């Protein structure tokens, strides 16, 4: 708990927007969304970051306190793809006393290096566009080829880059990179598919936030 508080304090002091998953309703939302997100059901941190709309999530790989010294590992991931952006091990000096100051020292030793890696990623990746996790789920049976072909064509027309993760008869799962000038809000992506799919299917919102868009598909 003290390690998490130390990371939160460090990030907020440097003007990062920090989302801390303490509320029970956030945990419940994560559990609900785990059934919707394919490919990462075994990683609750990934699912929670998506549910909260975070760009990056940071986890502790381990905190070891022995011989009056703390060693810990920090890992930063990209939320939409769960890609590892940086990992660093932090160390405190060895000295007697309570663990809390040693934990803070070890975190400070690691987090600057992790954040530099994240900053480098942002600078490179923003050239591609804004990333979203985009999932289409059938609300009534299997999706026809007409519907899936229409979605595929619209994906090509709308986004500068897209990655196909899952394609099944009931679920289509993508990562997409959208131009900020056209899709600076996730709700605009929903409206784009709703309007352009109107002739073949009804598109509805299941979940929409900053990074995660889950749309229901009901063929006409």
Residues 140-166 pLDDT 10s: 888 999 999 999 999 999 998 998 888
Query: DSSP string covering 120-179, please?
Result: HHHHHHTTT-EEEEEEEEESSSPPPHHHHHHHHHHHHHH-SEEEEEEE-SSEEEEEEEE-
> Cβ(143)–Cβ(111) under 8 Å?
no
Going 27 to 173 to 126 to 43, the CA torsion angle's sign is positive
CA distance 207 to 216: 9
HEC profile for 59-90?
EEEEEEEECCEEEEEEEEEECCCCCEEEEEEE
State the Cα–Cα distance between residues 51 and 28, nearest whole angstrom.
Answer: 10
pLDDT at 201: 94
Average confidence (pLDDT) over 33-58: 60
Q: What is the DSSP letter of 18?
A: -
49 has pLDDT over 70? no
Whether the per-residue pLDDT at 55 is higher than 80: the answer is no
Residue range 99-144, pLDDT digits in tens: 788 888 888 888 888 888 888 887 877 788 888 889 999 988 889 9
Residue 82 to residue 50: CA distance in whole angstroms: 10
Query: What's the rounded Cα separation, in Å, for the pair 53 and 113?
Result: 24
pLDDT value of position 168: 86
For the structural domain made of 2-19+54-125, what CATH number should be given?
3.30.160
Is the confidence at residue 59, as pLDDT, over 70? yes
Rounded to 5 degrees, φ, ψ at 40 are -145, 35
Is the confidence at residue 41, as pLDDT, over 50? no
pTM of the complete model beyond 0.75: no
> Cα 103 vs. chain centroid, distance in angstroms?
27
What is the mean predicted confidence (pLDDT) over 15-39?
54
Distances from the Cα of 137 to the Cαs of 2, 20, 186, 204, in angstroms? Answer: 40, 29, 17, 10
Segment 8-29 shows an average pLDDT of 65
Alpha-carbon span 28 to 35, nearest angstrom: 12
Look over the chain and give the mean of its residue pLDDT values, rounded to a whole number: 80
Structure tokens at 140: 């009534």
Domain ranges for the chain, please list them: 2-19+54-125, 130-219
């Amino acid at each position: 708990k003290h390690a998490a508080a130390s990371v939160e304090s460090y990030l907020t002091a440097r003007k990062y927007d920090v989302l801390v998953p303490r509320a029970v309703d956030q945990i419940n939302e994560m559990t609900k969304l785990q059934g919707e997100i394919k490919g990462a059901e075994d990683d609750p941190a990934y699912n929670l970051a998506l549910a909260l709309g975070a760009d990056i999530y940071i986890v502790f790989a381990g905190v070891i306190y022995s011989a009056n010294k703390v060693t810990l590992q920090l890992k930063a991931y990209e939320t939409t793809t769960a890609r590892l952006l940086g990992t660093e091990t932090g160390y405190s000096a060895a000295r007697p006393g309570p663990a809390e100051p040693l934990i803070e020292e070890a975190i400070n030793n690691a987090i600057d290096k992790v954040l530099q890696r994240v900053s480098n990623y942002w600078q490179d990746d923003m050239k591609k566009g804004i990333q979203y996790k985009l999932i289409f789920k059938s609300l009534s049976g299997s999706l026809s080829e007409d519907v899936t072909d229409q979605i595929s064509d619209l994906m090509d027309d709308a986004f500068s880059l897209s990655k196909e993760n899952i394609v099944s008869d009931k679920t289509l799962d993508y990562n997409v990179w959208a131009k900020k000038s056209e899709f600076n809000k996730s709700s605009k992506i929903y409206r784009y598919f709703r309007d352009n799919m109107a002739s073949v299917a009804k598109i509805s919102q299941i979940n929409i936030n900053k990074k995660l868009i889950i749309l229901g598909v009901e063929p006409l």
